[in-house]
Structure 1
Amino acid sequence: MAKPWHHLPEALRAEARSTAGAVRSACAGPGRERDLAAQSLKAALAALVAWIVAGHVLQAPMPFIAPWVAVALVRSTVYQSLAQSLEQLAAIALGTTLATAAGMAVGDPTLAMVLVLPVTLLIGNWRKLGDQGVYGATAALFTLTTGDPSVDQAMARLLESVLGAVVGVAVNMLIRPPVYLRDSHNALRGAADAAAECLTGIARGLAGTWDQGDALAWDRRARRVTELVGEAREALARTEESARLNPAAPRRAALLRRSGPYAHTVYVLEELARYTRDLTHTLVEAADDGTAKPRPEPDVAGRYARLLERVAVAVEAFGRVVTDDSREARERLRRAVARTDAAHEDLRRLLADRGTADPEWMGLYGSLLVDAHRAVQRLLEEPPHDGERS
């Protein structure tokens, strides 16, 4: 059997290629890679400024604390920087105070650690401190391992922590404050494209011969669409958070007004994803020989495939309205929805003429028709114009 380290060179080459690709993407234009590079440079700048101010301007006794705090507070949004600065300062104050009191009381740093660390680590899990609770235990360790604890040292540590927090928040707020509208834009377009591709794949399969393996593959793709829509909702929440307390937000108000239409689009895509999952679940049951569920007859399957093709085109047009909210894009969506509505009506008439007393067939046809109708109705709900709806 091959040893794991035999694959190390190839793994390193793959990692190097991935890193080179990320660097090229950051240099090529706006995107996630460039945002990450900018945040990293800002964190480094915040640490440098905090070090210079603490060590060379104020001559602080422990200047390393300020850059340590500053670099941790250049977060992905201005709101996070401000909120987490309060949480981090509270944790540092708690850890420093407990460690100073214990160190002065027992006079032995090791014994003080035994008393303080379990407490600070336990308090660090308090949800009010968010993910900054660990700084309480870290501050306690710094206090007990860098000299004899005293009230003066504790005050100096706290003041340097405040300095670092101020520098970190200021750098993040004043230098290229992040507004992540692009993330929502890309996530919504990706979810819409994935939904359209999934429906197109089902349509092509239904138009020919298919089995349970095909139905299960469609169901997996439908689940992936649901995941992508969830990621789009998370991206939208991040966009809205990035505008809070952000001095750049007023200058980008026209772009941020799209968050209303984007929220509407997420809602519609969630309904489409639910419809697609219902559809694939119905097809999986119909293809399972063990359930004795009926399969759609060839002419019904063909008409339904035609409907799904038109739904897919309409979903793609719907996604394009998000990224290109123009008159032409909306007109293209309206035409696609009209064709989808016509295909739905054609299928409805076929199923009405196919009336049967078999409850299994009626259940299958009814499910297909209701699901298709739900999708068409959601597509008729066009995204509102900027600022119309939130």
Structure 2
Amino acid sequence: MEWTGWATGAVRRHGGAAGRAVRRAWTEPGRERDLTVQACKAALAACVAWAVAGWWLQAPMAFVAPWVAVVLVESTVYRSLAHGLQQVAAIAVGTVVATVVALVLDSTMITMALVLPAVLLLAQWQRLGSQGIYAATGALFVLTDVQVTLATSGARIAEAVFGAVVGITVNALIRPPVYLRDTRAALADAAREAREILEAVAEGLDDGDWGSHTAGDWHERALRLGRLVDQARSAIGWSRESMRGNHRGRGTTAVCPPGKAYDDALAVLDHVAVHTAGVTRTVLETTSHSGDVARPGPRITGPYADFLRHTARAIGLYGQTRFAGTGTERSADGSLREAVGELRRSLDTLRQRLPSTVRDDPDALATHGALLAQARRLADQLVPD
């Protein structure tokens, strides 16, 4: 009974998740819809390749065409073209080598023992990239056939070429994938996480509720923020690649690839991640090494919490201004400048109060001075002069 209940619960959870994914794919743009479209395009490419090679031409190795067509409906048009050329080259090389050796030796087992190690080593050739393994696949198709002839091997290569053409064409002409939305989402996620971390630290400093465990959690989140920025950097690369050879980047309804503004935003978020990690590390050190670094009192934690709160608001508005993509950028831009002005005023207040608070502690003065310098550079990058 216990196992049945667990299985029923698992089915319900996974079934519910699948149902929600289907609804999102049907009702709104997003990753689920993109995946559904790509799956349908791959199926269409296979059907077209089989209809021509298998049904109309009745080619001897017709299955090769739909197989190649399916795997070449890639995540970007550029990747489809690049992988298509590499895959056809790998299949052709494996097929030719296996055919020649099989015709000379007239022994399948001996030919397989000689050819497979050679083509598997060839698969590591850098110019074939990730498609090198298809050299071994092409060789196996030859060696496991009932009869090896030049005609069947030539037909196999021709069908691979045709399948590649079909897969690349379908991917390029029918709603080619664009990942600009994923890029905006990745950048916005990093900005939102930075804002939430700084808000949590500010609230903890105000309440005085920040022991070593809580400070450790803040610092772990700050370190993960750097990985979110790296994911955003990867998403920008995907977006730019998805626009190469993509007809959606031309014409009156063109989708613009990420430009310099995205690179600038990435640089700002890099600085935000470093700044946030520095803040949380300082807070953690004051709780972990209370004998070496004096815990700041309310005279310093209050103004510093205000500064962090203003920083968090500025970062949140920066995300709305740069990554929303909804036409709200202009209205948010004025709020951003106002928030940065408040951030700078809170920073000035903290700078005025800091020297008298940590005058007898040079180490603390140096640490907080470095954080203040980082904060000033952050404010300058959020709204450049």
Shorter-chain TM-score tier: over 0.9
Does the alignment pair 1:344 with 2:347?
yes
In structure 2, the residue matched to 1:288 is 288
Greater mean deviation of Cα atoms: 254-263 or 309-318: 254-263
| Structure 1 position 80, deviation (Å) | 0.5
Q: Which moved more, 1:223-232 or 1:169-178?
A: 223-232
After superposition, the Cα gap between the structure-2 partners of 1:43 and 1:291, relative to the gap in structure 1 and judged at 3 Å, is farther
Match in the other structure for 1:77: 76
Is contact 1:219–1:280 with CA below 8 Å preserved after alignment? yes
CA 1:331–1:254: 2 relative to 1, 3 Å = farther
What's the offset of the Cα at 1:192?
0.9
Task: Please report how far the alpha carbon of residue 20 of structure 1 lies from its aligned counterpart in structure 2 after TM superposition.
Answer: 1.5
2:21 aligned partner = 22
- Partners of 2:213 and 2:33 in 1: how far apart? 41
Displacement of 1:362 after TM fit? Answer: 1.6
Match for residue 223 of structure 1?
223
Partner residue of 1:388?
none
Structure 2: how far apart are the matches of 1:8 and 1:145? 42
Equivalent residues, number? 380
SS in 2 for 1:157: helix
Query: How far 1:134 moved relative to its partner?
Result: 1.6
Contact 2:239 2:258 in 1 (8 A): no
CA contact (8 A) 1:77 1:177 kept: yes
Opposite residue 348 of structure 1, the aligned amino acid is: R
Cα deviation for residue 135 of structure 1 reads 1.2
In the other structure, the counterpart of 1:150 is: 149
Query: Which digits, 9 at most, give the CA deviation of each residue in 1:339-362, with x for residues without a partner?
Result: 111111111111134461422222
Q: Determine the structure 2 residue equivalent to 1:371.
A: 374
Alignment CA distance shift 1:92-1:290 (3 Å): farther
Say whether the 8 Å CA contact 1:89–1:161 is kept in structure 2: yes
Q: For residue 100 of structure 2, give the secondary structure of its aligned residue in structure 1.
A: helix
Residue pair 1:51, 1:66 contacting (<8 A) in 2 also: yes
Distance 1:223 1:6, change over 3 A: same
Give distance in 2, aligned partners of 1:263 and 1:133.
Answer: 34
Structure 2 partner of 1:64: 63
1:187 equivalent in alignment to 2:199: no
| Letter of the 1:245 counterpart | G
Contact 1:307 1:344 in 2 (8 A): yes
Which structure 1 segments of 5+ residues have no match?
A: 383-390
* Letter of the 2:38 counterpart: Q
What is aligned with 2:313? 313
How far apart, in 2, do the equivalents of 1:255 and 1:44 lie? Answer: 26
Does residue 101 of the first structure (1) align with residue 100 of the second (2)? Answer: yes
Q: How far apart are residue 365 of structure 1 and its match?
A: 2.4
Q: Is the 8 A contact 1:310 1:339 kept in 2?
A: yes
| Structure 2: stretches of 5+ with no match in the other structure | none
Distance 1:85 1:76 in 2: 13
Deviations 1:26-60 (A, max 9, x none): 01111000000000000000000000111123221
Could you say which residue in structure 1 is the equivalent of 2:162? 163
1:80 counterpart letter in structure 2: R
Identity over aligned residues, as a percent?
42
Counterpart for residue 251 of structure 1 = 251
Aligned residue for 1:294, secondary structure, equals coil
Query: Kindly tell me: are residues 211 and 116 of structure 1, through their superposed partners in 2, closer, same or farther at Cα, counting changes over 3 Å?
Result: same
Deviation at 1:370, TM superposition (A): 2.4
Matched residue SS, 2:247: coil
Aligned partner of 1:38 in structure 2 is: 37
Structure 1 position 8, deviation (Å): 4.2
CA distance in 2, matches of 1:222, 1:275: 9
Report the CA distance between 1:18 and its aligned residue: 2.0
**8 Å CA contact 1:103, 1:109 repeated in 2:** yes
* Mapped partners of 1:353, 1:290: distance in 2: 21
The worse-fitting range, judged by mean Cα deviation, of 336-345 and 223-232 is 223-232
SS in 2 for 1:207: helix
Kindly tell me: are residues 291 and 232 of structure 1, through their superposed partners in 2, closer, same or farther at Cα, counting changes over 3 Å? farther
Report the counterpart of residue 385 of structure 1 in structure 2.
none
Q: Which amino acid aligns with 1:241?
A: E
User: When the two structures are superposed, what TM-score results if normalisation uses the length of structure 2?
Assistant: 0.93
**Partner Cα distance (2:298, 2:367) in 1:** 14
Work out the CA distance in 1 between the residues paired with 2:186 and 2:384: 20
Contact 1:317 1:333 in 2 (8 A): yes
Larger CA deviation: 281-290 vs 168-177: 281-290
Residue identity opposite 2:269 in structure 1? L
Equivalent positions of 1:354-365 (< 5 A) are 354=357, 356-365=359-368
- Asked if 1 retains the 8 angstrom alpha-carbon contact of 2:340 and 2:382, the reply is yes
Contact 1:183–1:235 (CA<8 Å) still a contact in 2?
A: yes
Match of 1:335 in 2: 338
The answer (yes or no) to whether the contact 1:44–1:71 under 8 Å persists in 2 is: yes
Q: Give the conservation status (yes or no) of the 8 Å contact 1:278–1:371.
A: no
Distance 1:336 1:252 in 2: 37
> Is contact 1:74-1:81 (8 Å) kept?
yes
